[in-house]
Structure 1
Amino acid sequence: MLKKHVFLVGFMGVGKTTNGKKLARALNRPFVDLDELFVEQVGLSITAYFKEHSEEAFRFKEREILQNLAISEPAVIATGGGAPCFFDNMEWMNSHGITIYLQMPTGALAKRLADSKKNKRPLIQHLNEEELVGFIEERMQHRHPFYMQAHHHVNVLDLNIDALIKNLEL
């Protein structure tokens, strides 16, 4: 029985939502997508919120929504790719649950993002595939140290939900 939240962290497009839903189903717990919760609570898409307010305003609101999850029942929570890298969010998640860093090689991630609905991702919607690789590499230099603070590190290409559950200290 899940007694604390499980937070999935990692770069955009790595599969936090897809794998989070599978993990939540296997654990028989609710699934929460932090980005979807943001949109639901503010009534704007993330892209629209960025345009109307700013990335900084988004990060403040994202943190508030994240920390309000402390009072909800234990769930599997997919965070936004940048969420662990702002304020004390990673430290907060580590102290309020189990954190899992979902990893993927840069080339595979760039291909996945290039094939995805980039218009839902304001930071990359204007990039071609080559620029996308550079963007990922540049962002990962900053984000990797935050992601590495997670309790568990999993390569998504080798992910087995049942094996992951056995390794978690629930």
Structure 2
Amino acid sequence: MIRIFLTGYMGAGKTTLGKAFARKMNLSFIDLDWYIEGHFHKTVQELFLEHGEEGFRELERNMLHEVALFENVLISTGGGTPCFFDNMDFMNSCGKTVFLSVNPDVLFSRLRVAKQQRPILQGKNDEELKLFIIEALEKRMPHYLRAKYIFCADELENLNQIENSVQKMKTLLEIVES
């Protein structure tokens, strides 16, 4: 039975690498944000507005506990998931946790082109975006670093890099293909 939790900041590649890794290892892939949206039939942004951050984080924790019961699964968590409640301890207790570490400059270049899909980033100029990323990483890093594994996800820009990263993560996690 395999249960893997990917953690990391937005733009780290949790969905990109997670989907590719799950496909290669014949695991189910669950994006926790998408799972929440499917369960409540609302976007994460709508749930945030409706319940506030504290209320949303409670919903997120409940859904995390639900998906953590699944077997042979790779779960891509929201960027903030490890930073609330006992979520990191919980994930560490029931699966392999992997922090996708990405250089802030790489995150900036990824998020700069994806600003329109991420409401929290809209309206920020380049300088504001860089500062936002650096400050958020500083706050979240103590939580992220509690993952059992740290994986450099700087190189996910093309299919070859993604495939190489899948192989490296497979080696890191000592997983044998089924």
TM superposition score category, shorter chain reference = over 0.9
**Separation in 1 of the partners of 2:126 and 2:75?**
29
- Paired residue for 1:147? 144
Among candidates 140, 149, 169, match of residue 164 of structure 1: 169
Deviates most, 91-100 or 47-56: 47-56
Alpha-carbon distance in 2 for matches of 1:109, 1:103: 10
| Equivalent residue in structure 2 for 1:122, among 119, 125, 137 | 119
Deviant stretches of 4+, over 3 Å: none
Trace 1:58-77 onto structure 2 (pairs within 5 A): 58-77=56-75
* Equivalence for 1:131: 128
Correspondent of 2:40 among 28, 42, 56: 42
Q: Identity over the aligned pairs, expressed in percent?
A: 41
The one-letter code of the counterpart of 1:146 is: H
Structure-2 separation of matches of 1:63 and 1:161: 28
Equivalent residue number for residue 89 of structure 2:
91
Distance 2:109 2:144 in 1: 21
Q: Deviations over 1:31-63 (max 9, x none)?
A: 000010011011111111222221111111000
Structure 2 residue runs without a partner (length 5+): 156-163
**Deviation of 1:169 (Å):** 4.0
C-alpha displacement at 1:119, in angstroms?
4.0
- Superimposed CA distance per residue, residues 76-134 of structure 1 (whole angstroms, 9 cap, x where no aligned partner): 11000000000010111011100111011111101211101x34423322322211111
Instruction: Output the CA distance in 1 between the equivalents of 2:84 and 2:77.
Output: 12
Q: 2:17–2:165: 8 Å Cα contact kept in structure 1?
A: no
Please state whether the residue corresponding to 1:53 is helix, strand or coil: helix
User: Aligned residue for 2:22?
Assistant: 24
Number of corresponding residues: 167
Q: CA deviation at 1:164?
A: 1.4
Q: What's the TM-score, normalizing by structure 2?
A: 0.88
Using structure 1 for the length normalisation, give the TM-score: 0.92
Query: Aligned equivalents of 1:34 and 1:94: distance in 2?
Result: 16
